Amino acid sequence: MKQSQLFTKTKKEAPSDEVAKNAQLLIRAGFIHKEMAGVYAYMPLGLRVLENIKRIVREEMNAVGGQELMMTTLQPKEIWEKTGRWDDAKVDNWFKTKLVNGTELGVGLTHEEPIVDAVSNYLNSYKGMPFSVYQIQNKFRNEKRAKSGILRGREFLMKDMYTFCKDQEQHEQEYEKIVAAYHRVYARLGLGEITYRTYADGGIFTPRFSDEFQTLTEVGEDTIYVDEKKRIAINEEILTDENLKKLGLDRNDLVAKKGVEVGNTFHLESKYTDALDLFYIDEKGEKQSILMGCYGIGVSRLMGVVAELFSDDKGLVWPENVAPFAVHLLSLGQDEETEKICIELEKNGIEVLFDDRDAQAGAKFADSDLIGIPCRVVVSKKSLAAGGLEVKMRNESESKIMTVEELLQMLKK
Residues that bind a copy of itself (CB under 8 A): 5-9, 11, 30, 33, 35-36, 39-44, 46-47, 50, 65, 67-76, 93, 95-101, 105, 107, 114, 118-119, 121-123, 128, 131, 133, 138, 140, 142-144, 154-155, 164
Shortest Å, Cβ 113 to a copy of itself: 11
Instruction: Indicate the residue among 114 and 149 with the shorter CB distance to a copy of itself.
Output: 114
The CA distances from residue 140 to 44, 143, 278, 337, 401, in Å, are 22, 9, 26, 48, 49
Shortest Å, Cβ 399 to a copy of itself: 30
Shortest Å, Cβ 198 to a copy of itself: 28
Shortest Å, Cβ 76 to a copy of itself: 5
Instruction: Indicate the residue among 3 and 383 with the shorter CB distance to a copy of itself.
Output: 3
Instruction: Indicate the residue among 107 and 194 with the shorter CB distance to a copy of itself.
Output: 107
Residue/partner pairs of 405-411 with CB below 8 Å, 24 or more apart: 407/327, 407/345, 407/377, 408/345, 408/348, 408/350, 411/326, 411/327, 411/350, 411/375
Closest CA to 341 of 399, 411, 398, 413: 411
Instruction: Indicate the residue among 111 and 188 with the shorter CB distance to a copy of itself.
Output: 111
List, in order, residues 6 or more apart from 384 with CB less than 8 Å away. 334, 337
Report the distance separating Cα 358 and Cα 344, nearest Å: 22
Shortest Å, Cβ 44 to a copy of itself: 5
Instruction: Indicate the residue among 20 and 244 with the shorter CB distance to a copy of itself.
Output: 20
Shortest Å, Cβ 134 to a copy of itself: 10
List, in order, residues 6 or more apart from 68 with CB less than 8 Å away. 58, 61, 62, 133, 134, 135, 136
* Amino acid residing at 236: E
Shortest Å, Cβ 33 to a copy of itself: 4
> In this structure, are residues 290 and 261 in contact, taking their beta carbons and an 8 Å threshold?
no
* Amino acid residing at 4: S
Closest CA to 28 of 40, 10, 16: 10
Report the distance separating Cα 154 and Cα 228, nearest Å: 33
Instruction: Indicate the residue among 55 and 183 with the shorter CB distance to a copy of itself.
Output: 55
Instruction: Indicate the residue among 40 and 186 with the shorter CB distance to a copy of itself.
Output: 40
